[in-house]
Amino acid sequence: MTAEKAILTLGDKKIELPVIRGTEGDVAVDVSRLYEEHRILTYDPSLGSTAVCQSKITFINGEEGILRYRGIPIEQFVTKTPNFIEVAYLLIKEKLPTMTELLEFRTLLENNELLHENLRYQFRNIPAGAPPMAQLSAMLSNLACFHRDLLVLDNDEEFLQVAARLISKIRTIAASSYRRSKGLPYIYPDPNLRYCANFLHMMFSIPYKQYEISPAVEDALNLILILHADHEQNCSTATVRTVGSARANLFASCAAGVSALWGPLHGGANVEVMEMLKGIHDGGLSPEDCIRMAKDKQNPFRLFGFGHRIYKNYDPRAKILRDASDKVFSQLKMKERDPLLDIARKLEELALKDPYFVERKLYPNVDFYSGILLRAMHIPTNMFTVMFAIGRLPGWIAQWKELHDTPNSKIMRPRQIYVGTPKTDYIPREKR
């Protein structure tokens, strides 16, 4: 069988390019040797039409709103309720764990949940009110100072050790950054608690008074973390891969991922959504104002929690969270329904019938409803993106590992088209 080719015609030149097809029908023209062999660049500034790797981790079909982890549809992680740890294992170890493997993994996380006391003391020097995302990125990077033996990974066992340290300690760091921002004492992890419950304990217990963990809150957190666990080559994951491509260690690569995630167009959108909903609730804005502002090209305002580079349909994660919100509110036995949920529903209703959003295929994304659930769990707004990071960490780790294991993988080094001043002479200072 002859290999499939695409033909690029440029002037009188015809260039044959290999074609790659993914298992779900994605088609890509392989231009990786185009520059080397023909001195031609491809131009795709935000990589919207460029596949930077072949991956076996996550599949998304944005037109149909499909998301699968290692082939399993995201909806099955809701109906069959695995825990986040199981999903993390699936992503990083490429298979669902047996009961024994799951218990071993849980024990490994348990054994790594404490922070080195010297690392913990570093929180003292961070000013109260410091953004938790800044603390998270700094502290993940700092872990490299305390695990210097794991900066270069020689085998899968060492990789698993670093993965476990990161997945376990990120909770402890995240909760500590919140405690620090509130001037509250640090709470040690409790090895008897499950992953999500342990995080809630570190966030909300006080010395000598254990926080009472509601199963509804624990379940909702588990769901949120699972839904964020991976999302193929998004901005933060692409960052982790880029940093990792220089053979930077896993701690540094994940810390870089946190920084990328912080941006309001990416993970930081969940904070923006909350500010927007509160703004409407407090009377500064109406849902109609928001829609008008979002459509106004002279106004930088965007309808946060709407739109997605890949999804041109309802983000399946948003659908799950929207449907879960009513259930969670009733399970939490909240005296009254959060008025912000009604505002979100109204915004959604207006946007989904507005030609601006319809024509551009802008639908709610994962950040639209996640904040309302986090708020119901008393997670403060400045921790929303941190929660996203805790969820996304297994995805970053799995993607870094996949890159690490790719034979002959090269450093990421995009090209550019120079459009600046042609060669010119230096002008001495006194003559300028």
Please identify which residue in 302, 312, 345, 346 interacts with ligand CMC, judged by CB under 6 A.
302
Distance CA 255, CA 39 (A): 36
Indicate the residue among 135 and 370 with the shorter CB distance to ligand CMC: 370
User: In the sheet where 66-69 sits, what is the strand order?
Assistant: 58-61, 66-69, 72-73
Instruction: Specify whether 26 is catalytic.
Output: no
Cα–Cα distance, 4 to 358 (Å, whole number): 37
C-alpha 277/C-alpha 315 separation (Å) is 20
Q: Which residue from 41, 246, 265, 334 is in contact with ligand CMC, where contact means CB under 6 A?
A: 265
Choose which of 367, 386, 396, 401 interacts with ligand CMC (CB under 6 A): 367
DSSP letter at 30 equals -
Check binding of 294 to ligand CMC (CB under 6 A).
yes
Q: From the CB of 331, what's the least distance to ligand CMC, in Å?
A: 25
Place of tokens 């298979």: 95
DSSP states along 235-301? HHHHHHHHHHHTT--HHHHHHHHHHHHTSTTTTTHHHHHHHHHHHHHTTS--HHHHHHHHH-TTS--
Region of 139-147, 183-191, 263-271, 329-337 interacting with ligand CMC (CB under 6 A):
263-271
Cβ atoms of 357 and 306 within 8 Å: the answer is yes
Instruction: Select 47 or 145, whichever has its Cβ closest to ligand CMC.
Output: 47
Q: Does the protein bind ligand CMC through residue 237 (CB under 6 A)?
A: no
Using CB under 6 A as the binding rule, the residues of this chain from 91 to 130 that contact ligand CMC are none
| 3-state SS assignment for residue 173 | helix
Cβ proximity to ligand CMC, 56 vs 360, nearer residue: 360
Residue nearest to ligand CMC (CB): 307
Asked whether position 312 contacts ligand CMC by CB under 6 A, the answer is no
**292 is a contact residue toward ligand CMC (CB under 6 A):** no
Site for ligand CMC contains 362 (CB under 6 A): yes
One of 241, 308, 375, 401 touching ligand CMC (CB under 6 A): 308
Residue owning tokens 């036995």: 333
**Could you give the CA distance from residue 142 to residue 146 in angstroms, rounded to a whole number?**
7
Verify binding: residue 396, ligand CMC, rule CB under 6 A: no
* Contact in structure between 128 and 180 (CB atoms under 8 Å): yes
Residue 372 contacts ligand CMC per CB under 6 A? no
How many whole angstroms separate alpha carbon 169 and alpha carbon 140? 9
| 366 is an interface residue for ligand CMC by CB under 6 A | yes
266 in contact with ligand CMC (CB under 6 A): yes
Q: Kindly list the strands in the beta sheet with 27-29, ordered across the sheet, starting from the edge strand earlier in the chain.
A: 5-10, 13-21, 27-29
Query: Does residue number 38 form part of the binding site for ligand CMC (CB under 6 A)?
Result: no
Q: Is 307 in the site for ligand CMC (CB under 6 A)?
A: yes
Nearer Cβ to ligand CMC (147/308): 308
DSSP-assigned letter for residue 97: P
Query: Two tokens at 50?
Result: 């460029």
Catalytic residue numbers read: 308, 367
Given the rule CB under 6 A, which residues bind ligand CMC? 234, 265-267, 269, 294, 302-309, 360, 362, 365-367
